[in-house]
Structure 1
């Protein structure tokens, strides 16, 4: 399950699947390392190298992180036609709220714009 499209003002979720995936990812050291490394858009291979983890492990962790509101997926366009998926941390802050209605996760996306970051990458042009 992929998460819904990002908003620019922050999101709050009480969806059990999203909460479970987020808590599972945050409890995993490799996922936390990937989140720390993904301050700029990177491919899974680049994340594996930066985090010193096996590529197969990186693919599994990226898949898990993609089910959370913490991570965004984009496309790295290659003029030669060899496009690749790239990922970036998609949050500035996250807060867990425990209320009468249960648990809620609020993710603040303010100031985080992976699409703008991707378009600022070298070799990327809108032309």
Structure 2
């Protein structure tokens, strides 16, 4: 499930597959490092380098994080046509609630607009 960044909103889920993926990702040190590094949009290669992990590991962890409300996918446009997927942390705060109806995760978006941040990236122009 690839998601585009949400606009400063709140997402809540009680879907078991999403909950399982979210808990698995949060329990994984590499996933937490990727979330930390993904404050600005980055490709998987950039995330692997920033986190000092193997590229194959980074691809697996990004795939796992993409199944959660914590990371969103965008596109880095290249004037030469070599567009690349890029990822950005899509959570500023998360809360786990356990109640009579079960378990849910509520994720609040970042204060800054991740799409606007993408246009502030070097080499990216809206022209």
Give the TM-score normalised by structure 1.
Answer: 0.93
1:124–1:4 CA distance, 2 compared to 1 (3 A): closer
Output the CA distance in 2 between the equivalents of 1:91 and 1:126.
Answer: 25
**Map 1:37-48 → 2, pairs under 5 A:** 37-48=37-48
Give the TM-score normalised by structure 2.
Answer: 0.93
- Give secondary structure in 2 for the equivalent of 1:32: helix
1:23–1:93 CA distance, 2 compared to 1 (3 A): same
Output the CA distance in 1 between the equivalents of 2:89 and 2:68.
Answer: 10
User: Contact 1:10 / 1:108 at 8 angstroms: preserved in 2?
Assistant: yes
Corresponding residue of 1:51: 51
**CA RMSD, aligned part only?**
1.5
How many residues align? The count is 127
Corresponding residue of 1:6: 6
- Give secondary structure in 1 for the equivalent of 2:95: strand
Q: CA deviation at 1:113?
A: 2.2
Q: CA deviation at 1:11?
A: 1.1
1:3–1:126 CA distance, 2 compared to 1 (3 A): closer
Output the CA distance in 1 between the equivalents of 2:108 and 2:14.
Answer: 15
Q: Which runs of 5+ in 1 are unaligned?
A: none
Query: Per-residue CA shift, 1:91-120, capped at 9, x if unaligned?
Result: 110000111101010000151422111011
Output the CA distance in 2 between the equivalents of 1:74 and 1:67.
Answer: 14
1:21–1:103 CA distance, 2 compared to 1 (3 A): same
- Give secondary structure in 1 for the equivalent of 2:6: coil
1:53–1:44 CA distance, 2 compared to 1 (3 A): same
User: Contact 1:92 / 1:112 at 8 angstroms: preserved in 2?
Assistant: no
Structure 1: 4+ residue segments shifted above 4 A: none
1:28 and 2:32 matched:
no
